[in-house]
């Protein structure tokens, strides 16, 4: 709070007290009944704690919940942009190098009929999954070039002030950006030492784990609020055999 703001609040408070004093003085001048003035003054003071409870706690909490909901809506728009631009591509590129890829596909084979229980089961699976990445199966130069191309996009996302209220997505962006920095910092990605490969494998594992976790939260949000976008994700996510945005007619039984 600036000095001018504090001064304005002090002046406003003094003005309100003076106005209240004038009103009480006029009341006494007209009715000459100080007993009623003191009586109603104490009644008003007695109600102050209740007013503070209603306005300061209940109403404030309702407004805070509404603001939080609006912030979540904005952040999910940002998260959707991230997955549309590069998040889904990273999930697709790295999935073949994940040691337990078949189990990941089985646990995250998102379908339109998923219920709350299905999402809860998937969240448990992601929490317990070991997304170890085999670096030898990753085209590191191609991944580096792709991430370098997306660097400005990542940095623009990190500039979003709303990220301060969304630690999970912030951790994801930093994990992906760190992989980009690690790969870009090496003059050559050929003939890496075993310790260097192990370090990159750990960074890739961390990034992929964050990608899975945030993707699952995001798709659950789409299921609740944007079923048409959820339908598209169900058709194009990489945890199925043939991802395709096209809607194929199912043959009807004769």
- Quote the pLDDT of residue 59: 63
pLDDT digits (tens, 9 = 90+) for 176-205: 999 999 999 999 998 899 999 999 999 999
What is the Cα 136 distance to its own chain's centre? Answer: 33
Residue 73 CA to its chain's centroid (Å):
9
| Measured distance between the N- and C-terminal CA atoms of the chain, rounded to whole angstroms | 74
Q: Which letter does DSSP use for residue 190 in this model? A: S
Query: Across residues 203-225, what is the average pLDDT?
Result: 94
Q: Please, is 163 exposed, middle or buried when counting C-beta atoms within 10 Å of its C-beta (0-12, 13-18, 19+)?
A: middle
Query: Percent of the chain at pLDDT above 70?
Result: 90
Full-model pTM: 0.73
pLDDT surpassing 80 at residue 172: yes
Q: Which of 110, 73, 72, 74 is closest to 91 using CA atoms?
A: 110
The CA-atom distances, in angstroms, between 184 and each of 120, 145, 150, 208 are: 37, 8, 12, 18
Q: What is the mean pLDDT of residues 124-144?
A: 93
Burial class (CB in 10 A: 0-12, 13-18, 19+), 218: buried
Let me know the angle formed at the C-alpha of 83 by 80 and 86, rounded to the nearest 5 degrees: 140
- pLDDT tens-place string over residues 69-115: 666 778 888 999 999 999 999 999 999 999 989 999 999 999 999 99
Distances, alpha carbon 121 to alpha carbons 125, 186, 188, 216, 233, in Å = 6, 40, 41, 11, 19
């Amino acid at each position: 709070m600036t000095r001018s703001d504090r001064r304005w609040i002090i002046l406003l408070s003094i003005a309100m007290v003076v106005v209240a004093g004038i009103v009480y003085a006029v009341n006494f001048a007209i009715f000459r009944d100080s007993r009623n003035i003191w009586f109603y003054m104490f009644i008003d003071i007695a109600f102050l704690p209740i007013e503070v409870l209603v306005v300061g706690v209940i109403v404030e909490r309702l407004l805070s919940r509404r603001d939080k909901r609006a912030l979540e809506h904005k952040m999910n728009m940002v998260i959707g942009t991230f997955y549309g631009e590069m998040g889904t591509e990273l999930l697709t590129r790295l999935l073949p190098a994940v040691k337990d890829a078949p189990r990941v596909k089985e646990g995250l084979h998102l379908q339109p009929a998923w219920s709350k229980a299905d999402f809860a089961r998937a969240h448990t699976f992601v929490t317990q999954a070991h997304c170890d990445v085999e670096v030898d199966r990753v085209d590191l130069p191609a991944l580096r070039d792709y991430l370098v191309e997306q660097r400005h996009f990542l940095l623009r996302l990190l500039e979003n002030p709303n990220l301060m209220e969304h630690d999970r997505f912030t951790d994801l962006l930093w994990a992906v950006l760190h992989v980009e920095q690690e790969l870009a910092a090496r003059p050559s990605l050929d003939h890496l030492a075993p310790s260097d490969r192990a370090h990159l494998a750990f960074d890739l594992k961390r990034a992929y784990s964050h990608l899975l976790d945030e993707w699952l939260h995001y798709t659950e949000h789409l299921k609740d609020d944007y079923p048409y976008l959820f339908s598209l994700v169900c058709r194009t996510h990489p945890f199925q055999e043939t991802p395709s945005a096209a809607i194929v007619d199912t043959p009807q039984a004769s």
